[in-house]
Amino acid sequence: MRSKVSVGEYLAFLSTKFELDPDSFFQALITADKDKKSKCGDLSITCRSRTTERAIMLISKGQKVVAQFPVPRWFLTEQRNPIKPYGRFSLTGKTPARKPENMSGLRIKDLRTGMKQINLKARIVEIPEPKMVFTRFGNYASVINATIADETGQVKLCLWNEQAESLNIGDTVQIENAHLSTYRGEKQLRIGKKGTLNSIEDLNGS
């Protein structure tokens, strides 16, 4: 699996390629994790090994190995199918046959790891002291894992350097073009270079 493709995207690609129902495919992965083996359509799924953090899945069609890859434990325990948001997915870099679900107007309870282009309104409920970290670019940066909330739940919001300077506890923010990842087992909403973070009046308007 390419490092830039999330596990949800990759499994959506396999689901598309082999014309599998995403719900049946996800359930087959859960069954393989539990019972070592399962089937979905023409594919056989074998759990090669498992730890508290992940399971190594081997997918084959007849005698031919289709793929072998790690699936994080959190992915297999999601209540809602985390493959479905990606719809029909292509790894070619071309436009997928069907675009992923609209990520606008989401609530925190709807967020799933691997989601991209997330638009979200929430209120800041906690801003801890910043930490200095040494980045992969060879410099130090200030990072804050703030907590944001709406009526459906809470999630961490990772803020770098000046992103947090103008924010206060109780502020309502509009987040645009963010993505959700997992770090040390904890979901984190991150705002990339193309994302924005702006204060608004309240959760019901701008």
Q: Can you give the three-state secondary structure of 135-168, one letter per residue?
A: CCCCCEEEEEEEEEEECCEEEEEEEEHHHHCCCC
pTM here is 0.49
Is 69 found in the same domain as 112?
no
Residue 91 located in a structural domain: no
Domain count along the chain: 2
Residue 159 located in a structural domain: yes
Per residue in 132-181, pLDDT (tens digit) is 877 776 777 788 899 999 999 999 999 887 777 778 899 999 999 899 99
User: Between these two residues, 4 and 169, which has the higher pLDDT value?
Assistant: 169
CATH code assigned at 194: 2.40.50.140
Half-sphere exposure of 187 (CA within 13 A, CB side): 19
pLDDT at 101 over 80: no
Range of the domain at 164: 108-200
Last residue of a domain, one of 37, 54, 86: 86
